[in-house]
Each structure stands twice: as C-alpha cells, then as structure tokens.
Amino acid sequence: MSHEQEAARRRTFAIISHPDAGKTTLTENLLLAGGAIRAAGEVAARGQARRTTSDWMKIERDRGISVSASVMTFEFDGLVFNLLDTPGHEDFSEDTYRTLTAADCAVMVLDAAKGIEPQTLKLFEVCRLRDIPIVTFINKMDREAQDPIALLDEIQDKLQLDTSPLYWPAASGQRFSGMMDLHKQEFCVFDRKPGEAPKIGESERIAGDEASLKAALDDSVFEELSEGAEMATSLLPEFDEQSFLDGHMTPVVFGSALRHFGVLELLRTLHAYAPPPRDQKAEKKGEPITVHASDKPVSGFVFKIQANMDPNHRDRVAFLRLCSGEFKRGMRLKTTAGKQLNIHNPMMFLAQDREIAETAYAGDVIGVPNHGQLRVGDSLSENGDIQFGGIPNFAPELLRRARVKDPMKAKHLRKALESLAEEGVTQLFKPAIGSDMIVGAVGQLQFEVMTERVAAEYNLEVVFEPAPYNVARWLSCDDDKVLEAFLDKNKSASGTDLDDAPVYLAKNAWDVGYAQEKNPDIRFTATKERL
C-alpha cells in the first residue's frame, strides 16, 4: 500500500466527556469491539499492574482519575483507529486541550441522566475552535435517563450543534429495551438476562415494522418508541455528512458502555463517517503553507511529553502526531530550531502495549524516546523547515514557590522541576531577582501530583508555599528596546519561563491591567503559542 493509501485509512480521534460519564468504560469496550483486547477489564487490569510500579500514580488510584494520556491503536474493518486518551479531571485540562490538537474527530460521551456537564462544554469549545467533527454517544441508557428529545435540544441550545440521531432509544433504565436503527428501520435488541455477562459485539436485530416491534416490546415501551422515533424523524434534520465534517452537525448514537450495548454501532458510525487525517496549517521559512496527509516528506508535531513512563529508566517520551509522509524506523528528523534526532526506537501503542514501530503514516502517533531535546509544540520534519502552529501554552491559574526541605538540595529540585515542566503539564518561572522557583499550574491537584512525583522519582521532599505573585503573563513587543527597558524597570515583577521567554509576574489581575495601560506597546498575553 502506498503512503497515501495508508494515510487515507487512518482515523485519529479522542473522547471528550465530563468525569464519570463513562469514558474509561467506553474506551475499553471500543477496544473490545475493535478486537484490540481480549476481555473486558483488561485495560484496567494492565493499568493496575503499571500503577503498582509507579508511586506517583498513587494519586490517580486514590482519586480514581487518570492523569496520564496516551494513545491506543487498533484495526477494524480495514481502517486503523488511533484513539487518543485524554485525562478527564479538570485540573489537567491543558494537557487535554493539547491532545485534542492531534485529533481529527471526537466522540462526545454524555451521561443520559445528566446531559451536557461543565467539562463537556469546555472540551467541546476546544473542538469547535478547530471545527473538529463530533459524534455523540449518549451513555448509561440502562439507567433512568432524561427524555431523549430534551437531551438533543440541550445539545442544540448549549453547543449550537445540529443533532441527527442515527438510532432512537426504546425507553431507559429498567425498561430500556434497545434502539431503532432509523436508517435501516431495524431494531437493535438490548438483551438483559439477569446474571448473565453482557454480550460483546453486534446486538441482535429484528425487523422494525409495527407487528414485529409489538411482538417484542412491552406496550408502553412500544408506544414511547414509536412516538419518540416519529418526532425525531419529523423534527430533526437528516444526517448530512458535509455538515458533520464542517463541525456543524453531530450524529447521535445511544447505548450502555457498561453493558456493551451500542458500542459496535458507535464504532461503525466512526468507520462510516470519521474523516481521514486532516490538512494542517503550518509555516515554512516564515510563509504559511498547508501540509496534506498525502505529501511525501515526513512531518509531524509534538503534542505531549511524558517523562519517566518507566521509573527505572529516566526516559521521556514525546508523542508525535504525524501529519504527512511515510515514517520509517531509524529516520532522522529535525526541529525548526535545528535539533536533529535519529529515531531508532519509535513506539507504537497497541491497546496498552508498547511496541517498536517500523513504519507509521499521517494520522498515526508515535512515541519518540529522548532525553529532553523535544518540547511540546515542537515540529519535526525531514528538512527541519516545517513548523505547525496552534499548540498553546496557557497562563497558569495558580503560582506557588517551590522549596526543598533540605536546602543543600535546591539545585536538584530545580532540575526535577525543570524536567517536569518540560512535560508541559506545569510551568516553571524564574524571577529576575533572587533564586526562587515559581511553579505555575492550572489546578491545585497538579501540585499534589508534583509533590508525589518529585518524591518518587527524585527522592526529594518539596513544599509548595504561597508565592509573592498570583498572575503570570507572557510579554512581547515589536520593539526589543521597549521591552528591555520595561523589564529593566520592573525587575521585581518579571522573570523568564523555561524557554527564557520574558514573563510579567504580578500580584493580581489589577496590576496586569495597570501595567498594560502604562505600556501600550507591550503585549501581555495569557497564552503562548509556539510558532
């Protein structure tokens, strides 16, 4: 197969949801339906084994949240699916945002009883920024659910997204009986045999005519289904593939991830409609260009760094989303800053296993082991002349001064904090005066994770205490001299980030506003986009 054909059969997607909506359960069941894992529980069981080797994941275990994102690849019906896993907890949203920049499509999982929740909305907005097409999976139909029409109305109202149900559910909770395939006019039966493990794979289908349905369903369920399905088909628009690809319409599938119901139908929907690797905007020698998946030269960008995946080796893996070409093991790629990497041991992620990738194509994600040369937002290409944009750094919402209990170990702590900041989850600032280490994060939980990791991986006891600053803003100016003069005048309120970019460190937002007013030529920004 040519590299164009290989790229054309890639489908790279992420799942967005509010914690507890069922993302983990759905992920596991998608992998099962795709045949990537053998039995339910395997993802969790492997996860458990990994966790015992890594102390810092204790927090993950204790709090039942997933703090590390990765990618899972599986083949289904001739297509290669790359499922990008995103951490669900809101403190890790920055990581999630970046992961979404590597996805071509998203599955939005909603809890049928709760509808759109705050985190769903936030993540949806990130998808909207890039017009990523979205497939909706309304989960937990085996529990009492909201009226499906009301759920679809909520999607329409809150997300300004047209909904087109491909299936229509027959009741919910105890009475949940299955769903109607609105295109084929067949009914997928929800098989609930008490005491029996739910079946994996295709659900039983019966004809969707009135007589067959009446024979199979309770009277009240039949009434509810036929009324609802009629309303849905008359009120809601037909599925329009172009509108979906433009990010304006979402096809909707109902199901119960826990009971394996609707999962294969969701996978078939992705198979039918999820787009192949998208064109990517980039710059080449300062000129804007578009990189097509079918282009021959290899290119890609780093959207995530994970350090110490194996605590016995100080390894660090950069997750590279390929955007074009045929990548071959051993290839030499360059960053725009001129760093060269010979990629001898690229990793592929099959379900939860890692293995060496011999070849990879646009849409694929490979893990590039390195010793800190690569950063989030770096682009790699054969000539080192392509830079992809759009991977943001967000200004942290919390700043803390880091101190190590043993003062002799301050240097060690700086190294540890630097290497954690290189992963891109937290940020490290160095004030212009003094030797403080100021760590920035989007949420309190990240400080707890850092404390545990610094202890487990570097054997240091770190304390995070209130910092003299609460707000950080990146500074830029068209005139270097103006910026230099400002920095000189404001030594006590400025510093640099990990890349030596200047930042303004202020007590509060009012200070920032004031400084901005007094220095109209200087830009104070809450995001730093790496271009």
Binding residues for GTP: 17-24, 85-89, 139-142
Residue 49: φ, ψ to 5°: -65, -40
CB of 266 or CB of 362, closer to ligand G4P: 266
Binding site per annotation, positions: 17-24, 85-89, 139-142
Cα–Cα distance, 90 to 63 (Å, whole number): 13
How buried is 409 (Cβ within 10 angstroms: 0-12 exposed, 13-18 middle, 19+ buried)? middle
CB of 269 or CB of 427, closer to ligand G4P: 269
- Site for ligand G4P, rule CB under 6 A: 17, 19-25, 88, 139-140, 142-143, 256-259
Which residues have C-beta within 8 Å of that of residue 332, sequence separation ≥ 6?
A: 340, 341, 342, 343, 382
Contact assessment for residue 506 and residue 486, using Cβ atoms and an 8 Å cutoff: no
Residue 455, number of CB atoms within 10 A of its CB: 15
At its nearest, how many Å lie between ligand G4P and the CB of residue 166? 18
The strand ranges marked E within 325-419 are 326-328, 332-335, 340-342, 347-350, 353-356, 359-361, 365-370, 379-381, 386-388, 392-394, 398-404
At its nearest, how many Å lie between ligand G4P and the CB of residue 143? 5
At its nearest, how many Å lie between ligand G4P and the CB of residue 244? 24
At its nearest, how many Å lie between ligand G4P and the CB of residue 60? 12
CB of 87 or CB of 502, closer to ligand G4P: 87
Contact assessment for residue 466 and residue 473, using Cβ atoms and an 8 Å cutoff: no
Residue 431 three-state SS = strand
At its nearest, how many Å lie between ligand G4P and the CB of residue 423? 22
CB of 98 or CB of 140, closer to ligand G4P: 140
CB of 6 or CB of 91, closer to ligand G4P: 91
At its nearest, how many Å lie between ligand G4P and the CB of residue 61? 13
Closest CA to 145 of 184, 190, 203: 190
At its nearest, how many Å lie between ligand G4P and the CB of residue 455? 26
Residue 114: φ, ψ to 5°: -110, -20
CB of 86 or CB of 101, closer to ligand G4P: 86
Inter-CA distances, 3 with 9, 308, 366, 376, Å? 10, 33, 16, 26
Which helix (H) or strand (E) segment holds residue 500: the answer is none
At its nearest, how many Å lie between ligand G4P and the CB of residue 25? 3
Half-sphere exposure of 31 (CA within 13 A, CB side): 27
At its nearest, how many Å lie between ligand G4P and the CB of residue 140? 4
How buried is 470 (Cβ within 10 angstroms: 0-12 exposed, 13-18 middle, 19+ buried)? middle
| Category of 464 on φ-ψ map: left (φ > 0), alpha (ψ -120 to 50) or beta | beta
At its nearest, how many Å lie between ligand G4P and the CB of residue 428? 30
CB of 24 or CB of 70, closer to ligand G4P: 24
CB of 21 or CB of 450, closer to ligand G4P: 21
CB of 143 or CB of 334, closer to ligand G4P: 143
CB of 100 or CB of 213, closer to ligand G4P: 100
Cα–Cα distance, 21 to 108 (Å, whole number): 10
Closest CA to 88 of 14, 143, 37: 14
Buried residues in 67-86 as b, exposed as e (16+ CB within 10 A): bbbbbbbbebeebbbbbbbb
Cα–Cα distance, 262 to 529 (Å, whole number): 39
| Sole residue written with tokens 């045999």 | 193
| Sole residue written with tokens 């990010």 | 247
At its nearest, how many Å lie between ligand G4P and the CB of residue 261? 8
Which residues have C-beta within 8 Å of that of residue 379, sequence separation ≥ 6?
A: 282, 299, 300, 301, 302, 335, 336, 386, 387, 388
CB of 259 or CB of 316, closer to ligand G4P: 259
Residue 123 three-state SS = helix
